[in-house]
């Protein structure tokens, strides 16, 4: 999964990036795009690794991009370069400054930053939609496609992002190439001063986020970036001092998975124990395709062991003896924690 950090200059993107990745990229204005990969911690994978003792353990991964905030300072809009970098992401994470930054004259105004970014995405999308509708006057597109673009136009003109349109309402099948910005899942980080890290999202901000179908996380990036660089044993104590139960990364990952509505299935064996994130509602056949296209093409059946059931029996053998191995067809909907073995033939 690719998550792009965006926001105004000086909002703390690079600091948030360091917090999440444990890296130590220098903060300060501008700079290049940075990439950082993080393993998604999963206790179930740790446990399965203990049982199967595989040669390799592969956690799900998130690639964070720290996209420089060149657009912020002069409020001149997103540049072509950052637009391109943003279109490449699965999730956009907008970092809002809610702390006084001595290098900036303006006081913190996270609500205004949120609105500015929201509007910018909507306008960029609306321009694309209108260009398509303009062309439609000449090239007579298929009525289904035309209706989709008209619906998108109405939605954007009502100040609503495209992600507010459910899949049943807007068929995105033919739209993937457009890279609409307001169709991306949006995770908003309210980046605060140290003392306010544990306070909940203000009500007005929470309501605004709900209205634009975005999720919110509160943190104090500069403090958490320091914690992220500590020894794991010390981290818990510092978090507790701040009144926090989990690290920013853990909270962030839960929120991102929730936003994308992802579940994880596992594959196990002596070679490899591995976590595979897939959208909730994925079928066994789609899950097989995630592992390899051959497995999808030649799919016969999925052997399913729900994680909890597997734990209760302690081994694959005991579970099979008890007749608890589920044999499922291609339309079986994969549940979070399913251990899958795909039978296939190509």
Ligand X SMILES: Nc1nc2c(ncn2[C@@H]2O[C@H](COP(=O)(O)OP(=O)(O)OP(=O)(O)O)[C@@H](O)[C@H]2O)c(=O)[nH]1
Q: Are 222 and 15 in contact (CB under 8 A)?
A: yes
Let me know if 175 is exposed, middle or buried by CB neighbors in 10 A (0-12, 13-18, 19+).
middle
- The radius of gyration computed from the CA coordinates of the chain, to the nearest angstrom, equals 23
Smallest gap from Cβ 187 to Mg ion, in A, equals 18
Tokens 């701040």 sit on residue: 242
Closer residue to ligand X (CB): 9 or 287: 9
220 lies in the binding site for ligand X (CB under 6 A)? yes
216 lies in the binding site for ligand X (CB under 6 A)? no
Residue 178 interacts with which of ligand X, Mg ion, none, CB < 5 to 8 Å by class:
none
Binding track over 4-43 against ligand X, x by CB under 6 A: ---x-xxxxxxx-----------xxxxx------------
Residue 221 interacts with which of ligand X, Mg ion, none, CB < 5 to 8 Å by class:
ligand X
Closest CA to 83 of 120, 131, 132, 35: 120
Binding track over 4-23 against Mg ion, x by CB under 5 A: ---------xx---------
Q: Single out the residue of 68, 185, 277, 337 in contact with ligand X (rule: CB under 6 A).
A: 68
Closer residue to ligand X (CB): 251 or 330: 251
Residue 314 interacts with which of ligand X, Mg ion, none, CB < 5 to 8 Å by class:
none
Closer residue to Mg ion (CB): 68 or 216: 68
Query: Which tokens in the block code for residue 125?
Result: 């999308």
Smallest gap from Cβ 232 to Mg ion, in A, equals 26
Closer residue to Mg ion (CB): 13 or 208: 13
Q: Are 319 and 309 in contact (CB under 8 A)?
A: yes
Of the CA atoms within 13 Å of residue 202, those in its CB half-sphere come to: 11
Residue 337 interacts with which of ligand X, Mg ion, none, CB < 5 to 8 Å by class:
none
Smallest gap from Cβ 229 to ligand X, in A, equals 14
Which residue sits closest to ligand X, CB atoms considered? Answer: 69
Binding-residue total with ligand X (CB under 6 A): 23
Smallest gap from Cβ 70 to ligand X, in A, equals 7
Smallest gap from Cβ 335 to ligand X, in A, equals 38
Smallest gap from Cβ 33 to Mg ion, in A, equals 10
Closer residue to ligand X (CB): 69 or 289: 69
Closer residue to ligand X (CB): 99 or 149: 99
Q: Single out the residue of 21, 92, 93, 99 in contact with ligand X (rule: CB under 6 A).
A: 99
- Please report, as ranges, the residues that interact with ligand X according to CB under 6 A: 7, 9-15, 27-31, 68-69, 99, 101, 191-193, 220-222
- Please report, as ranges, the residues that interact with Mg ion according to CB under 5 A: 13-14
């Amino acid at each position: 999964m690719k998550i792009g950090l965006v926001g105004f200059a000086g909002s703390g993107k690079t600091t948030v990036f360091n917090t999440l990745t444990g890296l130590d990229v220098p903060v300060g204005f501008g700079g290049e795009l940075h990439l950082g990969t993080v393993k998604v911690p999963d206790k179930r994978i740790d446990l399965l690794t203990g049982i199967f003792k595989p040669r390799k353990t592969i956690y799900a991964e998130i690639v964070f991009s720290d996209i420089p905030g060149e657009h912020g300072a002069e409020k001149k809009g997103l540049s072509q370069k950052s637009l391109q970098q943003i279109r490449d992401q699965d999730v956009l994470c907008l970092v809002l400054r809610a702390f006084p930054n001595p290098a900036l004259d303006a006081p913190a105004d996270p609500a205004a930053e949120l609105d500015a970014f929201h509007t910018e995405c909507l306008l960029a999308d609306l321009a694309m939609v209108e260009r398509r509708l303009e062309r439609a006057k000449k090239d007579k597109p298929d009525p289904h496609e035309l209706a989709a673009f008209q619906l998108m136009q109405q939605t954007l003109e009502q100040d609503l992002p495209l992600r507010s349109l459910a899949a049943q309402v807007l068929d995105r099948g033919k739209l993937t190439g457009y890279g609409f910005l307001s169709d991306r899942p949006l995770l908003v980080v309210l980046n605060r001063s140290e003392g306010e890290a544990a306070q909940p999202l203000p009500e007005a901000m929470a309501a605004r986020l709900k209205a634009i179908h975005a999720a919110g996380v509160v943190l104090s990036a500069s403090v958490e970036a320091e914690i992220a660089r500590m020894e794991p044993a010390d981290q818990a104590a510092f978090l507790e001092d701040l009144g926090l139960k989990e690290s920013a990364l853990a909270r962030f990952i839960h929120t991102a998975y929730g936003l994308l509505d992802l579940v994880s299935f596992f594959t196990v064996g002596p070679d490899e124990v591995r976590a595979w994130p897939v959208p909730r509602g994925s079928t066994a056949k789609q899950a097989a395709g995630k592992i390899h296209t051959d497995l999808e093409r030649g799919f016969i059946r999925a052997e399913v062991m729900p994680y909890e059931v597997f734990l209760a029996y302690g081994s694959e053998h005991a579970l099979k003896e008890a007749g608890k191995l589920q044999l499922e067809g291609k339309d079986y909907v994969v549940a979070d924690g399913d251990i899958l073995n795909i039978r296939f033939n190509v």
